[in-house]
Structure 1
Amino acid sequence: MKTTHEHIAEQSEALKDADPREILHYALAEVDKIAISFSGAEDVVLIDLAQRAAKKLNKRLQVFTLDTGRLHFETYEFIEKVRQHYDIDLEILSPDAEKLQAFVKQKGLFSFFEDGHKECCGIRKIEPLRKKLVQLDGWITGQRRDQSPSTRSHVDVIELDEAFGTEEKPLVKFNPLANWSSKQVWEYIRMFDVPYNALHERGFISIGCQPCTRPVLPNQHEREGRWWWEEATIKECGLHIKQL
């Protein structure tokens, strides 16, 4: 697949209103070293859709997830449920043990309440993800434009990853559900009996690490349950924006 800005922009424009199935088929057909990033409800919908496309292409689906060491028990159950349900080789990425140990020794387990979540997320999420993405030419995410008006409202269905890609080694990011709403995601989950995190039944919508996630109240935006002690307009850990 060509990875010039012009070509990616052309393909994104051509597929901007396409069904997620079409975008996934294109991604799996065009990029050999590609994987789905899995953590939440949207990502399981992607796995469900992509598995069908992969079978048509006779391609083994590659899926990975980040284990920060601070996830809810229900999230670990959810990860195992997805692995078994789809019979996939789900790769679990963990933080570097020495760096994490040094960080916790110096700052404790809850430093993010005082100086922000970026450093903790950098060690527990960004570095393991970077090590994985270096091995790939493309990755597929469950980003939606309605997830965060301040940071995701302009997500394209196909884009060059500016956070993890380089000029020497471009990385293509596919966001097949960019145009979907939360309502559409959950309609699909119910219609096709897709596994989901049990925390969703207790008011959790956007689910991250246990200390940094809480349920949201009626009419609150889903991202308000993440890092609630910080500025409301900045609700990203760095997986999808160039900040760390």
Structure 2
Amino acid sequence: MAFEREHRTAGPETEVLLAEQWPLNRAETRRKLEQDPALRVSAEVESLVSLRGVVRAVSPSAVVVAVDLLGSGDEAALAELAVPVLLIGEQDDGDRVARLLSPRVRGFVCRSDGASELAGAVRAVAAGQASLPPAVAGKLLDTLVRNPPRPAVFDQLTQREQDVLQYISQGLTTAEIAAEMVVQTSTIKSHIYHLLQKLRVRDRTQAVALAYRSGIVHVPAPRFADRGDVPLPSV
């Protein structure tokens, strides 16, 4: 780990922590950052292992992290940092970056971008804003459309209630659900009553409509292949 702390006269600089694995890339990123007199690289790390400790030691305004430094599961490490994160990588990292974005990970720049673009992105995320190239922003929007965030109200449902909701969305009656789950119909009626109360809807049709709009359930076509048209949820 390369870790340094410079002592300068206090000024208006935005302090940046740089997390890059490869020395040449790290040197080039630092060179670009320090072309802006308002930015100062106060520390460098070569891995994520000690990143949290270094963040506490130098208290930067933002952390610039190379995408290729991140392995499987490292997203959680970034989410736990106490400062905003700007990712830096290649143009074809867009899909991965869209998945990494979070309230803590607020932006991305391409390694080929110039010094002014990099500095502007650092200042933006340090100020609590987002900074994304149009291509990455588009991928993020596509992801959100395909996979809308799960509304918190559905987290109140037990696993059995979620299973019942899935079966209701497929058009099964209470008796059919009971047969699928190998329980009494009275048990299914109890699950339905409680999930309606938790979702604050009047009946099963409204519950399914809410689940569809939220992207929680989808009707699997094979179930209806031999049953004609998709039936409405039974009350």
TM-score over 0.5 for the pair: no
If the length of structure 2 is used for normalisation, what is the TM-score?
A: 0.26
More RCO (CA 8 Å, sep 6+): 1
Structure with more of its chain in helix, by fraction? 2
